Amino acid sequence: MGDLTLFGLPISLGTMIYQASIFTVLVLILKKLVFKKLVNILDTRKQHIENQLQLTEKYKLDAARNLDKSEDTLKQARHDAREILKHSENEATLIINDAREKAKQILKDANEEAYHTHTRFITRADQIKGV
């Protein structure tokens, strides 16, 4: 076959046809054996990534819902705690006031008892002096 010169480079037409046919056979073999498997692997990988993204989005939504529920529960717990504290303060005030009233009554009773005892002793002392 003939040789050509292109831009000052010698080109062998026979070698070029031989390399083109080898390249075509190689591409067909790769297409038949490797490309299908490679495409299947890439498709499987793509599907796996899409599933993971969907799962991630689901978990993100679940986390947002759980956060909202937790915040609501925390608000309710704080409200309940304030109510309990308010009720406890009222109860404590009532108990303290009741204790003060009882202490005043005990003091009054003790003073009356002391007065009666004092009066009896004075009366007896006057009786003993008078006898």
Residue with tokens 């303060």: 89
Say what percent of the chain tops pLDDT 70.
97
* Per-residue pLDDT at 66: 96
Neighbours of 12 (CB within 10 A): 13
- If you count DSSP H runs as helices and E runs as strands, how many of each does the chain have, helices first? 2, 2
Q: Tell me: the pLDDT tens digits for 54-105?
A: 999 999 999 999 999 999 999 999 999 999 999 999 999 999 999 999 999 9
Q: What is the pTM of this model?
A: 0.46
**Residue bearing the bigger pLDDT, 131 or 97:** 97
